[in-house]
């Protein structure tokens, strides 16, 4: 099978900053530029880490436009940054609308999470993704995160989508099952698999993964970029292994409460966010967990 057009490498699942209940687009721009400055290959605006479930469609589209604007400016300066726009919903029609907007606006591809709450069958998932992908011509990456959506995209369905739909090129896998990933890699060697679980970035890359979509890289883009590039570009597994071990504590701490609660708190504590705001029903972390994050952050240098 011919390898499809793909977006790979070190990618960041961007948080969405708020100020007084509204989008803080000025901070958003600066956070995106920081990612690019520290060698991230692609940015992923308004995925689930970006609190997309509680953004209005207008806000969702604004975030995509801002990300594309920063990317365009950097491309003019010779930096090859990609934008993989979040375009997921539990409504197929809404996901299609967001995907079409992303394409028209100039996104390089879209990331589409499995529909949440509905708990569709595998055939329902197949039809959902086929419909979204066929509504656009840019690459589409599947996103499986059963702990958050209540449904798992099975390997047989993933393989069928990859074979049947020309612009479905890969999957962000966040199910925590390495055997599932190995099976996919063996059965469908041209399918692009990326890690959606920072704790498993290194083993997934070692098992044939072509990149990561990281939460931790919001805080430590230089470290996540180095780990990913050490494996993919340099085949320097020992150096990547050392980085993986170094990141273990922060990777674990960033999931002590529901994502993106801890990552936004860590960024606030590190001076990357001016305000610590979430959209209800998400709220700030407990006092105990905030202190734990503060303690763990003393072990890391957060570059500005």
**pLDDT digits over 212-229, tens only?**
999 999 999 999 999 999
Residue 57: name the closest of 14, 11, 100, 17 by CA: 100
Neighbours of 229 (CB within 10 A): 17
Whether the pLDDT of residue 3 is over 70: the answer is: no
Average pLDDT over residues 116-130: 97
CA end-to-end distance (rounded Å), the chain: 43
For residue 80, what pLDDT band results from cuts at 50, 70 and 90? very high
CA 209 vs CA 84, 145, 151, 185, 272: distances in Å: 17, 16, 22, 8, 30
Give CA–CA dist 24/44, Å, rounded. 17
Overall pTM surpassing 0.95 (yes/no): yes
- Residues paired with 113 in a beta bridge: 143
pLDDT digits (tens, 9 = 90+) for 259-271: 999 999 999 999 9
Question: How confident is residue 1, by pLDDT bands cut at 50, 70 and 90?
Answer: very low
Is the model's pLDDT at 5 over the cut of 90? no
* Residues recognised as catalytic: 143, 172
- Tell me whether strands 18-19 and 22-23 are parallel, antiparallel or unpaired: antiparallel
**HSE toward the beta carbon, residue 279, CA cutoff 13 A:** 17
d(C-alpha 152, C-alpha 113), whole Å: 11
Give the rounded percent of residues in the chain with a pLDDT score beyond 70: 99
Q: Is 297 helix (H, G, I), strand (E, B) or coil?
A: helix
For residue 298, pLDDT beyond 90:
yes
Split at pLDDT 50, 70, 90, the class of 110 is very high
| Model confidence at 4: pLDDT above 90 | no
Is the pLDDT confidence value at 2 over 70? no
- Mean pLDDT in the chain? 97
Q: Mean of the pLDDT values across residues 144-172?
A: 97
Would you say residue 275 has pLDDT above 50? yes
Residue 58 has pLDDT above 80, yes or no: yes
Phi-psi domain of 139 (left: phi exceeds 0; alpha: psi -120 through 50; beta: other): beta
Q: What is the pLDDT of residues 192-201, one digit of tens each?
A: 999 999 999 9
């Amino acid at each position: 099978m011919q390898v499809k057009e793909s977006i790979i490498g070190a990618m960041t699942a961007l948080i969405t900053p708020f100020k007084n209940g509204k989008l803080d687009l000025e901070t958003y721009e600066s956070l995106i530029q920081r990612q690019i400055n520290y060698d991230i290959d692609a940015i992923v605006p308004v995925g689930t880490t970006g609190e997309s479930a509680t953004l209005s469609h207008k806000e969702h589209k604004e975030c995509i436009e801002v990300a594309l604007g920063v990317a365009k400016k950097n491309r003019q300066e010779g930096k090859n940054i990609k934008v993989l726009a979040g375009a997921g919903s539990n409504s197929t029609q809404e996901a299609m609308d967001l995907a079409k907007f992303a394409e028209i606006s100039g996104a390089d591809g879209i990331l589409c999470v499995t529909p949440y709450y509905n708990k569709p069958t595998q055939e329902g998932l197949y039809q959902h993704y086929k419909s979204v992908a066929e509504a656009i011509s840019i690459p589409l990456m599947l996103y499986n995160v059963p702990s958050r959506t209540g449904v798992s995209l099975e390997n047989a369905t993933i393989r069928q989508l990859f074979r049947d739909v020309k612009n479905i090129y890969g999957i962000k896998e966040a199910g925590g099952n390495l055997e599932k990933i190995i099976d996919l890699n063996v059965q469908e060697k041209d399918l692009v698999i990326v890690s959606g679980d920072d704790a498993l970035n290194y083993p997934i890359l070692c098992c044939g993964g072509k990149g990561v979509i990281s939460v931790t890289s919001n805080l430590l883009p230089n470290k996540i970029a180095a780990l990913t590039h050490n494996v993919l570009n340099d085949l320097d597994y020992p150096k990547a292994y050392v980085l993986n071990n170094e990141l273990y504590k922060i990777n674990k701490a960033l999931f002590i409460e529901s994502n993106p609660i801890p990552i936004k708190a860590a960024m606030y504590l590190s001076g990357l966010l001016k305000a610590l705001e979430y959209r209800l029903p998400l709220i700030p972390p407990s006092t105990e967990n905030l202190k734990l994050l503060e303690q763990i952050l003393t072990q890391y240098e957060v570059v500005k």
